[in-house]
């Protein structure tokens, strides 16, 4: 035993001696090289590649612009960074190599433009690029939240602010009345139709938003609503780097609805009783009268009140962790990351759990072949039956919350329209979505100079499962009328698509002429299936929704299938003369399966010109404050095929069963519905867009920006047309109508202060968009049923217009042509809404309805400021929406109270004692069924972030290469002319509330 131990120790000693000798020899041949890389303004550059020339040995600069590596004495270092000229510097005896990178990092920045990239100065189309710095301005785990207010003309509306919900995206407003107006999403060069909530923002390198016809023309049929290109991070040359990003935060509703307290609520119910029901005396007493229910009366006597919003709202914790490793050599680059997000919502039972696993590799085999592959897997869970927010807000403070046994009282006010918001929250619900996305490419340099070929392949598989079980401790699953309780629902859906694109590109420079030509062949196919099952009556709640076959009654099954295909050809030519005169010509032909056999294919051309007028002799070197001035002009056509499949085919429905004869068995049947007839002539909806743009840089590049003015016409609108029922059907999809859209976008960047230790940068964005309907069905008539009016905006409020409140002593009658006295407004009385007599005939009828205003904002704006002082940084982002018409929920007293429910605190409603009120009387009977509207403005403090980068001398002692901490708050406050709403992006006051989120972040690089 001792002899064997001696041999083992001897072998270990020999190995250690060999390692020491090797390291000694290495130390003799290599020295430690350090340095810092900055730009011409002495600002540190992060991520600069530093490579020992002729080897794979390299690294990257850290957050301070510093780097360290081992290299042979006298070797040459190669410094490369996007937007700067590469530099080669020989290592001196000191081992310290500091570098100042030269070049215009803005104009020479490479921008992804679709099926390729181009220098920013060579662009002819209208687009905007959002880089890592801008994406880090907001610290939420939702990617689109980080883009709000960052791009002119790009509106992101968070209608549902719950965790895990997608936003509504619009680029330059709406063009279509019935078809989809959402932009095309392209993820790592592959069209992506999945949820953007599945993407981890920490994996995104940059986002490019394509807006005008020339920029989006390369995507043809799917580009009429704009294109969003998302590029995820890839590996870079250098030693392996491990990065940890972590965040922990707490959220609460940004604001609540301030409702009436107990005493104010009783006074309000008394006002309702005397003004609507003509109660008086004891009838208005809370105990002896009937102004509150028996249940409320019991709590009133006991002095028990409930704050219902405190039951449904809560403080919620968010944790977000990501660990990644990246690096590579000249031939192999890699990146892998794993992230875990747990976000509790500010509403009871709302939550999001997300796991992201990402891996990609780029392999260069030789001078002519490079292959890359990237994979992303996401699992997202966000189940849970949430309480009804509206019912919580409108509950009486004296309503009963729970009974003696601890169960939720179904109707706290004994009122079936406003029930206990918590009565189903004990249900079991699991909602799981899985998303696998694969993107791969092969780049081949062909034997002909300047000729290359690239093949892209993408595959996306998504599955979704929802299982819900209402047990006996819920209202929907209760036992009643002798029936066994329990109700279950399960649904499954599966989606997959593949995209295959083949791109041939030729680039040449001949003297002062430069051109590149791109040809594309692309195909895409999608398939979606779904199934669901419901049942009621289960022996036990223990099996939840897992034993659907044991359901006793109301069993139903459904299933579905949908498939689409797209085939495309594209050609693009870019030409540049002297780098000053640039032209782009694009043509794309698309064929889509959703269209009829007569019109499956369409061709979409576009052209764009750019002129670097600042390079002309009459400006260059003569106007000292002008650094760059470029004019852009584009015009082209783009298509929209975003309609539901099978609209060109006749469709039979089978949701009705018939019984033939007494006691017969119900059998399935099929019938042609009123909208079941297809149109084989259905074709592409086409948008023709013109754009004039100016890009500029002034005062030694301290002021830069762009100004774009555009106008678009959309023809052959895809919409439902009403036809005489004598045809056997009443509606059919057709290409009819025309819309127009025009607007202006301004993006301005300024460097206010640029000292060695202190920097201050500002970005201001302003945009407005005006849409209108040019034609509907070719007959010049409006479509009142759909609120579509020729010459007016696409989305409007059309209703009676309230201009005041009727008062005592007002003239309620008018004299008609026969001399008779008639009511000017049916049901008018003191405290009623006074409606506008639009046609001036003296009385109110249906002809007095008018267009109140557009549901789209007049303009939007944002302001971002970034400050840095040594190792500290501070950023703030404000966003504003102005002139958008919304339902005035506070003024619509009838929809609030139903004659029995709670209302807003300090509401200025009419009573005989308060004739100067701004809100109608509680006794007002809205016989015309009109709404109440208000033009709304709101400015949100979207994000404030304060951070600190720990100095390198401290970091090195800890054995890491960089540490950064930050504290941020999202949705701090909203300034607005309305207050009683939970989400300013939603027209309904009781929507899921916007969350104020306080986050602490920690980034560590190893």
Distance between CA atoms of residues 861 and 883, nearest Å? 12
- State the pLDDT confidence band at 335, using cuts at 50, 70 and 90: very high
Instruction: Say which residues have a Cβ less than 8 Å from residue 214's Cβ, sequence separation at least 6.
Output: 124, 125, 126, 584, 586, 606, 607, 608, 634, 635, 636, 691
Report whether pLDDT(250) > 50: yes
> With 90 as the cut, is the pLDDT of residue 746 above it?
yes
Distance between CA atoms of 679 and 720, rounded to whole angstroms? 11
pLDDT at 24: 38
Q: How confident is the model at residue 973 (pLDDT cuts 50, 70, 90)?
A: very high
- Model confidence band, residue 425 (pLDDT cutoffs 50, 70, 90): very high
Write down the pLDDT at residue 23: 38
User: What CA dihedral angle connects 557, 197, 212 and 762, to 10 degrees?
Assistant: 160
Other C-beta atoms closer than 10 Å to the C-beta of 310 total 10
d(CA 731, CA 734): 9
Closest to 576 in 3D by CA, of 638, 516, 514: 514
83: pLDDT strictly greater than 60: no
Which H/E stretch holds residue 273?
helix 262-276
pLDDT bin (cut points 50, 70, 90) of residue 785 is: confident
The Cα 635–Cα 336 span in angstroms is 42
pLDDT at 939 > cutoff 50: yes
Average pLDDT over residues 852-856: 95
Answer yes or no: are the C-beta atoms of 839 and 847 closer than 8 Å.
yes
For the segment 47-57, what is each residue's pLDDT rounded down to a tens digit? 788 888 877 67
- pLDDT value at position 52? 86
Residues 964 and 315: beta-carbon distance below 8 Å:
no
* Three-class DSSP category at 995: strand
Largest CA distance in the chain: 130
9 pLDDT tier (thresholds 50, 70, 90): very low
Please count the other Cβ atoms lying within 10 Å of the Cβ belonging to residue 91. Answer: 19
Looking at residue 257, its pLDDT comes to 95
Is residue 114 very low, low, confident or very high in pLDDT (cuts 50, 70, 90)? Answer: low
Q: What is the pLDDT of residues 126-145, one digit of tens each?
A: 788 888 778 877 788 899 98
Mean of all residue pLDDT scores within the chain: 88
Residue 7 has pLDDT above 60, yes or no: no
**Binning pLDDT at 50, 70 and 90, where does residue 45 land?**
confident
- Residue 297, φ and ψ in degrees, nearest 5: -60, -40
Q: How confident is the model at residue 821 (pLDDT cuts 50, 70, 90)?
A: confident
944-969 pLDDT, tens per residue? 999 999 988 888 888 888 899 999 99
Q: What is the pTM of this model?
A: 0.85
Average pLDDT over residues 164-181: 89
At residue 58, does pLDDT exceed 70?
yes
Q: Which residue has the higher pLDDT, 448 or 596?
A: 448
Query: At 18, is the pLDDT very low, low, confident or very high (cuts 50, 70, 90)?
Result: very low
Per DSSP, the residues of 767-829 read EEEEEEEEESSSSS--BGGGTB-BTS-SSEEEE--EEEE--TT---EEE-TTS-EEESSTT--
The pLDDT tens digits for 620-666 are 888 889 989 999 999 999 888 877 888 777 777 776 677 766 667 77
Give the number of residues written for the chain.
1006
Of 165-179, 415-429, 864-878, the poorest mean pLDDT is in 165-179
What's the confidence (pLDDT) of residue 6? Answer: 45
Task: Write out pLDDT tens, residues 556-567.
Answer: 999 999 999 999
Q: What is the 8-class DSSP label of residue 183?
A: P
Count other Cβ atoms within 10 Å, centred on residue 347: 25
Is pLDDT larger for residue 993 or for residue 26?
993
For residue 718 the two structure tokens come to 């895809």
Non-local CB neighbours of 698 within 8 Å, separated by 6+ positions: 625, 626, 627, 704
Q: Which carries the bigger pLDDT value, residue 30 or residue 295?
A: 295
pLDDT at residue 8, as a whole number: 43
Residue 914 CA to residue 907 CA, distance in Å, equals 11
Supply the pLDDT for residue 414.
93
Distances (CA, A) of 952 to 65, 871, 949, 958: 10, 10, 9, 10
Label residue 937 by pLDDT band (50, 70, 90): very high
pLDDT digits 0-9 by tens, 25-42: 333 467 889 898 887 666
Q: What is the mean pLDDT of residues 889-912?
A: 89
Q: Is the pLDDT of residue 752 over 90?
A: yes
**How far apart are alpha carbons 392 and 902 in whole angstroms?**
10
Greater confidence (258 vs 51) lies with 258
In the block, residue with structure tokens 């998504």: 462
For residue 105, what pLDDT is reported?
53
Predicted pLDDT of residue 1:
43
What is the pLDDT at residue 27? 39
Q: What is the mean pLDDT of residues 717-736?
A: 79
Residue 13 confidence (pLDDT): 44
The candidate with the shortest Cα–Cα distance to 122, out of 497, 476, 584, is 584
Are the C-beta atoms of residues 683 and 716 closer than 8 Å to each other? yes
Q: Is pLDDT of 227 > 80?
A: yes
Token digits of residue 433: 């979505």
Determine the pLDDT at residue 941: 96
**Residue range 670-710, pLDDT digits in tens:** 766 767 788 888 888 899 999 999 999 999 889 999 999 99
- Residues contacting residue 803 through CB under 8 Å, at least 6 positions apart: 834, 835, 836
Q: pLDDT band for position 242 (50/70/90)?
A: very high
Decide if pLDDT at 848 tops 70: yes
Q: Would the pLDDT of 11 be above 70?
A: no
For residue 486, what pLDDT band results from cuts at 50, 70 and 90? very high
């Amino acid at each position: 035993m001792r002899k064997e131990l001696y041999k083992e120790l001897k072998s270990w000693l020999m190995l250690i001696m060999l390692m020491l000798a090797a390291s000694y020899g290495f130390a003799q041949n290599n020295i430690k090289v350090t340095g810092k890389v900055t730009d011409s303004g002495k600002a540190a550059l992060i991520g600069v590649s530093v490579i020992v020339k002729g080897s794979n040995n390299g690294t990257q600069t850290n957050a301070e612009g510093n780097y360290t590596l081992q290299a042979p004495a006298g070797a040459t270092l190669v410094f490369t960074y996007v937007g700067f000229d590469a530099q080669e510097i020989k290592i001196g005896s000191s081992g310290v190599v500091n570098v100042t990178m030269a070049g215009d990092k803005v104009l020479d920045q490479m921008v992804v433009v679709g099926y390729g990239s181009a220098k920013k100065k060579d662009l002819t189309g209208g687009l905007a690029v959002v880089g890592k710095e801008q994406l880090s301005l907001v610290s939420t785990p939702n990617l689109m939240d980080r883009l709000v207010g960052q791009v002119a003309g790009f509106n992101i509306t968070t209608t549902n602010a719950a965790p895990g919900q997608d936003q509504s995206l619009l680029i330059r407003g709406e063009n279509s009345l019935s078809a989809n107006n959402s932009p095309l999403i392209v993820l790592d060069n592959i069209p992506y139709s999945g949820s953007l909530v599945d993407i981890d923002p920490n994996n995104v390198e940059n986002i490019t938003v394509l807006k005008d016809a020339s920029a989006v023309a390369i995507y043809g049929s799917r580009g009429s609503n704009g294109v969003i290109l998302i590029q995820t991070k890839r590996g870079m040359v250098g030693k392996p780097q491990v990065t940890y990003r972590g965040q922990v935060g707490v959220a609460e509703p940004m604001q609540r609805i301030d409702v009436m307290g107990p005493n104010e609520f009783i006074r309000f119910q008394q006002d309702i009783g005397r003004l609507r029901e003509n109660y008086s005396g004891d009838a208005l007493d809370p105990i002896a009268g009937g102004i509150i229910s028996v249940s409320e009366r019991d709590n009133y006597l006991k002095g028990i009140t409930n704050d219902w919003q405190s039951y449904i709202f809560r403080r919620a914790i968010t944790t977000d962790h990501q660990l990644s490793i990246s690096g590579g050599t000249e031939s192999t680059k890699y990146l892998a990351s794993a992230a875990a997000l747990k976000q509790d919502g500010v509403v009871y039972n709302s939550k999001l759990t997300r796991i992201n696993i990402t891996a990609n590799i780029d392999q260069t085999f030789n001078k002519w072949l490079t292959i890359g592959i990237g994979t992303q897997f996401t699992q997202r869970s966000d189940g849970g039956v949430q309480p009804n927010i509206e019912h919580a807000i409108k509950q009486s403070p004296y309503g009963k919350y729970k009974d003696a046994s601890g169960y939720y009282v179904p109707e706290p006010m004994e009122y079936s329209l406003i029930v206990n918001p918590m009565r189903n929250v004990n249900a079991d619900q699991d909602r799981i979505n899985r998303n696998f996305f694969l993107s791969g490419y092969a780049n081949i340099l062909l034997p002909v100079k300047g000729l290359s070929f690239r093949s892209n392949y993408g595959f996306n598989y998504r599955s979704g499962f929802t299982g819900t079980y209402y047990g006996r401790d819920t209202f929907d699953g209760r036992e009643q009328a002798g029936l066994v309780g329990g109700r279950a629902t399960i649904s499954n859906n599966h989606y997959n698509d593949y995209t295959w694109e083949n791109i041939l590109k030729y680039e040449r420079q001949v003297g002062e002429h430069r051109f590149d030509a791109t040809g594309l062949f692309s195909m895409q196919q999608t398939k979606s299936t779904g199934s669901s099952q419901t049942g009621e009556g289960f022996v036990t709640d223990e099996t939840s929704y897992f034993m659907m076959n044991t359901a006793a009654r109301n069993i139903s099954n459904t299933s579905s299938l949908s498939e689409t295909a797209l085939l495309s050809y594209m050609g693009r030519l870019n030409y540049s003369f002297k780098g000053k005169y640039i032209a782009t010509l694009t043509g794309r032909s698309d064929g889509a399966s959703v269209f009829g056999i007569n019109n499956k294919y369409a061709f979409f051309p576009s052209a764009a010109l750019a002129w670097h007028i600042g390079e002309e002799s009459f400006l260059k070197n003569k106007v000292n404050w002008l650094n760059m001035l470029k004019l852009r002009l584009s015009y082209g056509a783009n298509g929209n095929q975003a309609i539901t499949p099978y609209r060109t085919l006749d469709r039979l429905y089978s949701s009705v069963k018939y019984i033939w004869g007494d006691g017969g068995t119900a059998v399935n049947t099929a019938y042609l519905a009123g909208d079941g007839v297809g149109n084989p002539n259905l074709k592409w909806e086409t948008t023709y867009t013109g754009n004039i743009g100016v890009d500029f840089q002034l005062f030694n590049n301290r002021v830069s920006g762009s100004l774009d003015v555009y106008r678009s016409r959309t023809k052959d609108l895809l919409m439902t047309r009403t036809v005489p029922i004598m045809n056997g059907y009443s509606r059919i999809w057709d290409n009819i109508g025309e819309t127009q859209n025009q607007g202006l976008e301004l993006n301005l960047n300024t460097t206010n202060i640029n000292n060695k230790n202190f920097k201050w940068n500002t970005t201001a964005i302003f945009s407005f968009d005006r849409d209108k309907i040019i034609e509907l069905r070719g007959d010049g008539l409006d479509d009142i049923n759909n609120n579509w009016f020729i010459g007016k905006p696409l989305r409007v409020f059309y209703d009676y217009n309230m201009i005041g409140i009727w008062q005592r002593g007002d003239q309620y009658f008018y004299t008609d042509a026969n001399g008779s006295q008639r009511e000017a407004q049916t049901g008018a009385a003191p405290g009623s809404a006074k409606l506008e007599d639009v046609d001036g005939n003296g009385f109110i009828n249906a002809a007095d309805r008018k267009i109140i205003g557009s549901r789209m904002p007049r303009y939007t704006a944002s302001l971002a400021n970034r400050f840095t002082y040594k190792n500290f940084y501070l950023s703030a982002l404000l966003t504003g929406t102005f002139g958008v018409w919304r339902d005035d929920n506070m003024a619509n007293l009838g929809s609030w109270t139903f004659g029995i429910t709670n209302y807003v605190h300090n509401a200025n409603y009419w009573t005989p004692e308060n004739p100067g009120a701004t809100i109608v009387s509680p006794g007002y009977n809205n016989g015309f069924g009109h709404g109440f509207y208000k033009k709304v403005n709101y400015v949100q403090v979207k994000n404030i972030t304060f951070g600190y980068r720990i100095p390198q001398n401290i970091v090195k002692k800890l054995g890491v290469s960089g540490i950064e901490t930050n504290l941020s708050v999202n949705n701090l406050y909203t300034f607005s002319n309305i207050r009683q709403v939970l989400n300013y992006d939603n027209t309904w006051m009781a929507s899921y509330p916007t969350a104020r989120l306080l986050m602490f972040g920690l980034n560590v690089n190893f």
